[in-house]
Structure 1
Amino acid sequence: MVKIALDAGHGLYTPGKRSPADEREWTFNNKVLLACQERLKDYEDVQVVRLDDPTGKTDVPLSTRTRTANSSRADVLVSIHHNANTAKWGNWGGVETFVYPRASTASRQLATNINPRIVQAMGLRDRGVKTANLAMLRDSNMPAILTEGGFMDSTTDIIALRDNDKMKAQGEAIADGLASHFGLKLKKGKDVAAVPNKQTNIPSPSHKTGWEWAEKKGYMNGERPKEGLTREQFASVMMKVVSDLEK
């Protein structure tokens, strides 16, 4: 049995933790946590321990949260957050995931597994995996990560944060990343396939010409233009490009 400690950061009334439009960070965090928790039900042999107040009315002290995770002997801790820069609207943005500066290899591996999944789910810029001396990471006895799924004061990111489908996808991405990390098995009849999207095979107008050129050249197969490129896929594309140049 894998025990997973999930934490929606802060509370409804935590000072400063809100968008310039007064949307509360905990509300965003909670949407992702609930989607993650629901998705984890599709896997065998997994138990969830929630560390924050499920109503959001109380901002549970960080020491209480980590103490609960430690005393429950959780195998991993994921603290879910959404970022802010100046508390005024701006054009910054992106997804990042934090580990403790002296984090275990398992923590770093988990962050590296989950961060790109959140990037893909939200369709935002990848700010990468970073280190920070944060209480949720420092005071936990198990591998721990803290996710930042986008900026609440970003004019671009807030569109994704207000999209319930994207927030659900973020939670499911975290769950599937945890399942991948621990080798969890899906229950019979469950699937990890992405939710079909009728826009999946339609490139953005600004990239339409380049996409059609790459497809014609055989560098791309014409499918899922908005999805990220893995290293092995990039290697295959480069091989084709270099091969053409050498002709």
Structure 2
Amino acid sequence: MVKVALDAGHGMNTPGKRTPDGEREWSFNSKVVTAATKYLNEYDNVTVIRLDDPTGKTDISLTKRTNKANSESADILISYHHNANTGQWGTWTGTETYHYPGSSSGYALASKIHPAIVGAMVLRDRGIKSENFHMLRESKMPAILIEGGFMDSTIDIVKLRDSNVLDRAGRALADALAAHFGLKKKSKSKVESTSGVHVVKKGDTLWGISQKYNTTVAVLKSLNKISGDLIVPGQKLKLPSNSKKAATKPSLKVNAKVKVKKSAKKYATGENIPNWVKGKKYTIQQIKADRVLLKEIMSWVYKKDVE
């Protein structure tokens, strides 16, 4: 199992880490890391260790971040940032990646990842550099720090404000890591729902997830040690061992084939449904709010009574 430590630099309220208009660097960093986590989940045999606070409320100390990566034996560490020059708007631009001075493994990792990020951001390639940063120095595994673009650049800010671009950077990071480690894509069914785990997507709520897996919000909170209602994209939630994904309702459209349930009792017009009609397939000829007209028997049946 490959362990990838991902770090969205700083926190939401870290002093000074803002665009000239007040936008938070962490919010840009987190969008890329969250997307990378989502896309890495499409691969087998990889797990993500997130080092920052995924809510952004706390700026976790650098020491705690590297200690976590080291104690959990991460195979690599990637700290994702966005740059600043003077703090005032200017036309400087570009993407650059750092490794620790003299680290051949750090340079090798940067050489695999940096071109992918440059390709996703479509900004000037400022190259691969070395620097004595804490995240690179104190980590026991190959580590790199990426500066995706300049927050105080009138050129780069256009990309940073585009969620599609940051999502693309996250995908590029995930795919480059997969190529680096030789990871294979999961089957479609595994991606949709890893056994016993739900990966939170944008728009998910605890209530919606509980309904999807026929469980309760209280059970999800207890199992995952959640005190409030906040969940974030990319977060992995454990599911109760007996949970099953709720059955998907049939697609009801004209000319589709449906079967009348054996439990069906009355037509939508009020008459009893004879037993010989039940359990057989029919063609939908018309659709109304709560009923469908079945062509072969020319009768209206409630939608809830077909499958």
Give the TM-score category using the shorter length: 0.7 to 0.9
Write out per-residue CA displacement over residues 212-237 of structure 1, whole angstroms, 9 at most, x where no aligned residue: xxxxxxxxxxxxxxxxxxxxxxxxxx
Match of 1:70 in 2: 70
For structure 1, the 5+ residue unaligned runs are: 191-247
Task: Establish whether residue 50 from structure 1 lines up as the match of residue 38 from structure 2.
Answer: no
Q: Which residue of 2 aligns with 1:97?
A: 97
The alignment status of 1:134 with 2:133, answered yes or no, reads: yes
**Counterpart secondary structure, 1:77:** strand
Q: For 1:211-226, list aligned pairs within 5 A.
A: none
Q: Secondary structure at the match of 1:63?
A: helix
Deviations 1:20-78 (A, max 9, x none): 01000000000000000000001110011010011111110000000000000000000
* Local SS of the residue matching 2:171: helix
C-alpha distance in structure 1 between counterparts of 2:126 and 2:188, whole Å = 35
Cα offset for 1:123? Answer: 1.0
Equivalent-residue separation in structure 2 for 1:19 and 1:177 (angstroms): 28
**AA partner of residue 185 (structure 1):** K
2:14 maps to a residue whose letter is T
Provide the rounded CA distance (Å) in 1 between the counterparts of 2:40 and 2:106: 19
1:108 is displaced (CA, Å) by 1.0
Partners of 2:147 and 2:171 in 1: CA distance: 15
- Number of residue-to-residue matches in the alignment: 189
Match of 1:9 in 2: 9
User: If you compute each CA radius of gyration, which structure gives the higher value, 1 or 2?
Assistant: 2
SS class of match (1:7) = strand
The one-letter amino acid of 2:50's match is R
Shift of 1:189: 4.6
Where 1:140 maps in the other structure, the secondary structure is coil
Corresponding letter in the other structure for 2:153: S
Displacement of 1:81 in angstroms is 0.3
TM-score, normalisation: structure 2: 0.61
The residue identity in structure 1 corresponding to 2:55 is T
Tell me the C-alpha RMSD between the 2 structures.
1.0
Cα distance in 2 between the residues matched to 1:107 and 1:78: 10
Question: Higher helix share goes to which structure?
Answer: 1
**Distance in 1, Cα, partners of 2:39 & 2:16:** 30
Q: Structure 2: which 5+ residue stretches go unaligned?
A: 190-307
Report what 2:144 is aligned to: 145
More RCO (CA 8 Å, sep 6+): 1
| Counterparts of 1:154 and 1:39, CA distance in 2 | 28
Aligned partner of 1:217 in structure 2 is none
Partners of 1:49 and 1:69 within 8 A in 2: yes
Alignment partner, residue 79 of structure 1: 79
- The runs of 4+ residues in structure 1 deviating greater than 2 Å are none
TM-score, normalised to structure 1, is: 0.75
SS of corresponding position for 2:77: strand
Which structure shows the higher strand fraction? 2
Query: Partners of 1:143 and 1:24 in 2: how far apart?
Result: 28
Hey, what does 2:153 align to over in structure 1? Answer: 154
